[in-house]
Structure 1
Amino acid sequence: MESSVLAFATDLLDEGADTFFGHLTDRAGVGGLTLASVYHEARDVFPHNPHRVVRYLEPGAAYFRPDPARWAGRRLAPAPSTAIGDRDPFAEAAAEAGRRGLKLHAWTVFCHNDRLGFQHPDCAPANAFGDRHLTELCPANPEVREYARTLVEDLGRYGVDAIRAESLHFHGLRHGYHHERYFEDLGPVAEALLGICFCPHCLAAASADGVPAEEVRTAVRDELRARLADEKRAAEPAALDGFAGGALAAYLDAATRTVTTLAAELAATAAAGGMRLTFMDGAGPGKGWLSGIDLPSLAGAAHQIETLGYARTPEAVREKVAAFALHGVRPEAMAVILRPMAEDCDGPANLAAKIAVLRELGVPEVEFYHYGLMRLSSLDRIGAALLP
């Protein structure tokens, strides 16, 4: 079974290559590094960082040096984080990983990008009222798709084994902005409807599939107005698959095709560069339909599906993987992320039992979240759990 640890470039820069890679190989005993290449805004606590305990990550920043020739003239382009200065952490990581015989994966956040969304609102999703969700990029937008393909091509320069594609899909209303406020209870139906994109590109994609897209938008807008105005109405359930005479379901099917075709395009781009594309699905089976995630289709489009195995017991991890199998994703085509920290694990035996379950099911790759966010003792726990 292949293994790796997810990490930030700032972990490498703050600790230095010898300490950072020494912890990966000597303490965790893993065979790979999954390094963030483009990441969203965050504030995190780093238990063993030698320079700071709390760090803010910049919105939508890149942690590699983009090739200027590839990005010339593009509106959407990665901007290096100020935290890396004049250095190229990916080049440093690639050289050191190669020297130590480790695989390097590029953990890449695609459509959850506050910086690009605020800079280019026309590339962000739009709800039924035309309000843009500026923490995101719309995967139906041609410029966004070109940005995603070029990002994969550019990362191929570093000898990356796999692109771990996070946020390669639509997002709901409650995702990714600090101080989000909802003083009235919107209800689950209104929240779901407010998260659907009706930008010109999504409307055009649905219309091309024969969906009455403008009628769907009008119906969604009218339903939202009614639920926002009436507390009792907001609490009423509704079957979205039958909403607007079934036209909303057809509209969401078009969004699913948008995500699936984008994943297929990036998988082909990755393969041309000698890489794999791993589609990261954090929600789990049956929970991503409003995001355009159709697991059977994505299993055929991407080279691999990765999910979060965050759970306290090995049995719960088994159930998570089994649920994917019921949705057309074979265990041998999966990677699973585990957390060795106390929230999920009470010791090496617990983590080892989870890894044993994954091996038994035929899952070929396990990853551990997250190098900088865990104590060094949790890295030791990984090493102990991976021992034969």
Structure 2
Amino acid sequence: METSVLAFATDLLDEGADTFFGNLTDRAGVGGVTLASVYHEARDVFPHNPHRVLRYLEPGAAYFRPDPARWSGRRLTPLPSTAIGTRDPFAEAAEETRRRGLKLHAWTVFCHNDRLGFVHPDCAPANAFGDRHLTELCPANPEVREYCHTLVEELARYGVDAIRAESLHFHGLAHGYHHERYFEQLGPVTEALLSVCFCPYCLAAATAAGVPAEHVRDTVRAELRARLADETRALAPAPLDQLAGGALAAYLDAAARTVTTLTAELAATAAAHGMRLTFMDGGGPGTGWLSGIDLPALATAAHRIETLGYAKTPEEVREKVAAFALHGVRPENMAVILRPMSSDCDGPANLAAKITTLRELGVPEVEFYNYGLMRLSSLDRIGAALR
């Protein structure tokens, strides 16, 4: 079984290579590191960081040094984090992992990018009213797809073993934007309908698939107006698969094909450079229908599917993996992320039992979240569990 710990490049920069990689090998005993290459905005507490306990991560920042020639003439380009200065954490990590016999994975957030969405709103998803979700990039947009391809090619320069593709899909309305708020009760149907993208490229993709896309948009807009005006209507259930005469379901199927084809293209690009592409599905089966996540199709498009095994017991972890098998994702084609912290684990035995469960199921890869957000005792817990 392959093992690695997810980490931020700032962990490496703040602690230095000897401490950072020493903790990974001597404490956690893992065989690799999954380093964030492009990441979203966040505010985190770092229990063992020697320089800061609280850090704000910049929106949509890159933690490698992009090749200017590769991005020449592009509007969508990765902007290095100010936290890395003139350094290239990925180059440093690549050198150290080669020297130490470890694998390096690139944890890459593709379409959840506040920085690029706000600067280029025409590349962001649009709801039925034409309002743009500026924290995101739309995977149907040709510029966004080109940006994603080039990111994969860039990361191949570092000898990366695998791309961990996070947010390679659409996002819903409620995705945790700073001070995100609505004081009237919207209800789940209203939230769902406000999440569907009707940008020109999504409309064109659906139309090409034989869907009356503009009729779907107009119907969704009218339904939203009625629900926004009337709380009773807003909280009432509705069979979304029957909306617009069943055409909304077909429209969402077209959105899923957008995500699947992009994933397949990026996986092919990764393979051409000797890398794997792992599609990260954090929600689990049955939760990604608004995000364009078609698990059976993605199981074929990507090299692996990764999910969150966040749970208190080994039985719950087993159930999570079994749910994927029911949706066409076999355990041998999966990677699972576990949390060794006290929120999920009461000790090494609990974590060891979860790892044993994954081995028995045939899952070939387990990762642990997240290096900088753990206490050092949690890294020790990983090492004890793996031993």
Provide the TM-score with structure 1 as the length reference. Answer: 0.99
SS at match of 1:74: coil
The equivalent residue for 2:289 is 289
The equivalent residue for 1:28 is 28
Structure 2: tracts of 5 or more residues without a match: none
Amino acid at match of 1:205: A
What is the Cα deviation at residue 177 of structure 1? 0.9
1:37 and 1:124 map into 2 onto residues whose CA distance is: 21
Matched, 1:70 2:67: no
The equivalent residue for 2:209 is 209
What is the Cα deviation at residue 244 of structure 1? 1.0
The equivalent residue for 2:148 is 148
The equivalent residue for 2:274 is 274
Per-residue CA distance 1:47-106 (angstroms, 9 max, x = gap): 000000000000100000001111011000100000000000000000000100000000
The equivalent residue for 1:362 is 362
The equivalent residue for 1:157 is 157
SS at match of 1:83: helix
The equivalent residue for 2:336 is 336
What is the Cα deviation at residue 7 of structure 1? 0.1
Matched, 1:227 2:239: no
1:77 and 1:257 map into 2 onto residues whose CA distance is: 25
2:287 and 2:368 map into 1 onto residues whose CA distance is: 23
What is the Cα deviation at residue 239 of structure 1? 1.0
The equivalent residue for 1:345 is 345
Per-residue CA distance 1:280-331 (angstroms, 9 max, x = gap): 0001001101100000000000000000000000000000000000000000
1:321 and 1:70 map into 2 onto residues whose CA distance is: 39
Per-residue CA distance 1:247-303 (angstroms, 9 max, x = gap): 000000000000000000000000011000000000100110110000000000000
Give matches, 1:184-199, under 5 Å. Answer: 184-199=184-199
What is the Cα deviation at residue 205 of structure 1? 0.2
The equivalent residue for 1:55 is 55
2:299 and 2:53 map into 1 onto residues whose CA distance is: 39
1:163 and 1:34 map into 2 onto residues whose CA distance is: 9
The equivalent residue for 1:125 is 125
Structure 1: tracts of 5 or more residues without a match: none
2:373 and 2:301 map into 1 onto residues whose CA distance is: 32
2:190 and 2:221 map into 1 onto residues whose CA distance is: 10
SS at match of 1:336: strand
Per-residue CA distance 1:197-231 (angstroms, 9 max, x = gap): 00000000000011000000000000000000001
Asked if structure 2 preserves the Cα contact closer than 8 Å seen for 1:278 and 1:305, the reply is: yes
2:46 and 2:109 map into 1 onto residues whose CA distance is: 21
Matched, 1:99 2:136: no
Asked if structure 2 preserves the Cα contact closer than 8 Å seen for 1:40 and 1:113, the reply is: yes
What is the Cα deviation at residue 176 of structure 1? 3.7
| Identity score, percent | 87
The equivalent residue for 1:372 is 372
SS at match of 2:307: strand
2:266 and 2:147 map into 1 onto residues whose CA distance is: 11
What is the Cα deviation at residue 108 of structure 1? 0.0
Amino acid at match of 1:191: E
Provide the TM-score with structure 2 as the length reference. Answer: 1.00
Per-residue CA distance 1:316-368 (angstroms, 9 max, x = gap): 00000000000000000000000000000000000000000000000000000
The equivalent residue for 2:13 is 13
RMSD: 0.4
2:335 and 2:369 map into 1 onto residues whose CA distance is: 13
SS at match of 1:158: coil
1:210 and 1:386 map into 2 onto residues whose CA distance is: 52
SS at match of 2:169: coil
Asked if structure 2 preserves the Cα contact closer than 8 Å seen for 1:337 and 1:367, the reply is: yes
Q: Which runs of 4+ in 1 moved over 4 A?
A: none
SS at match of 1:198: coil
Asked if structure 2 preserves the Cα contact closer than 8 Å seen for 1:348 and 1:384, the reply is: yes
Asked if structure 2 preserves the Cα contact closer than 8 Å seen for 1:135 and 1:176, the reply is: no
2:170 and 2:129 map into 1 onto residues whose CA distance is: 17
